[in-house]
Amino acid sequence: MADYSVGEKILEERLFENDSSRPSEPDHVTNLKRGVVREAYELFLTHFGASPVNEIKAAAAPGRVNLIGEHIDYCDGFVLPMAIPLYTVVVGRKTYDQKRGFTNVFSSHFADPLVIRRPYDRIVREGMTWGRYIQGVFALTECSLCFDVVVHSSIPLGSGLSSSAALELATYHFVSQFFPEPLPRGVRSAELCRRVEHEYAEVPCGIMDQFVIALAEHGHALRIDCRSLSYELIPISISHDALFLIVNSGVHHKHASGEYAKRRKMVEEALRILNVDSWRSVTHEMVQEKLSSGDAMMFDCALHVVDEIERTVKATEALLDNDITHFGRYMCESHNSLRDKYRVSCAETDELVSLAMACEGVFGSRMTGGGFGGCTVSLVRKENLEDVKNYIKDNYKGGTPTFYESEPVSHAGPVKLLFLGK
């Protein structure tokens, strides 16, 4: 498990001590979450029938957008994500016949229901795809119960907004409610859900997505040190003048398809050639000396990692100073590096960034997430927001973009159905 400081342990305990210790979210955020939970609950009733309300458990997990610090969560870097008001909700109950030996799962995103059979730690290589996230959580929490479950989400799939990590954390907090003692929250839940990605979904991701979804607080981004797993809540105080606008390109990525894993293997090999323990010890001079005469793509990827680590530190300082001009500049530099050096953007996200930057009132724009499609995030002055959206909608050649006006929301957790007035 992570070795983090006493101060961070106290922070984690404070975050999860009880609901009253958390800053309350504004009504419009609460209503967004309530709406997704209500839809999930009604889907459950439709597919599995009525039950006494105390037998049905629910949990919700937000998506996330990474403001800067891309592809360096698996390179001991710093990242700056925030949770956003798009939610994945898991609603379910224990089956009345535990001898049947399987869990039924219905998702509003997919036509066919899933059957996940015990023992849950038996990895099924063929089929089941998204069901592996649920199975992995059951397996790694050593849950042996069988359930009837509905999964419902407002997070677009394959968009770079962490739909998979949200599913893992929502499942984790759902199943936790069936143990005699609740499962650990915070960092420990994030670490377990990252193992689900590695061992069951076979995606070699870093810990950023699970970490921010497990620990986020309303009104704050999270600056995560991915080497030590220490973290700091960063107030988003720009919200009175500007906001982060997420635009979905409509191009779906799939990390397990190979390119994501290829980049990770490449930077791991680069670090071996550099003969150091961590990218935090690497300088431009070291990269030039030891990598410039070798594989050109490895050289470029190494430069991105070194620059993005430094860029994220500077961008965080700018955000703390409420210097949105410089923060926006760092966003653009990050995108250019991801496009030209790490080579993980695509024509559609490049076009969305260019369109955004052609508009008055846009301070910066970049692709966000693992790349190869998905979303962009732009820092936009509020008074220019509608003009920016209209310009992008009228000029984007990649299809019909979807817009999400985002603000930082709180972490994943169980949801009482009394929350719905049930």
Coil, strand or helix at 231:
strand
What strand order describes the sheet that includes 78-79? 78-79, 220-225, 230-235
- DSSP annotation of 294: S
Q: Which of 73, 148, 209, 350 is catalytic?
A: 209
* d(C-alpha 305, C-alpha 394), whole Å: 35
Q: Whole-angstrom Cα distance, residue 7 to residue 151?
A: 36
- One-letter amino acid identity for 301? C
* Preceding omega of 204 cis (within 30 degrees of 0): no
| CA-to-CA dists, residue 254 to 23, 121, 372, 415, angstroms | 35, 24, 8, 30
Cα distances (angstroms) measured from residue 419 to each of 53, 57, 94 = 12, 12, 21
Closest among 115, 186, 199, 106 to 149, alpha carbons compared: 106
Nearest alpha-carbon partner for 104 in 157, 146, 140:
146
Active site residue 148: no
What does R_g of the chain's alpha carbons equal in angstroms? 21
Active site residues: 209
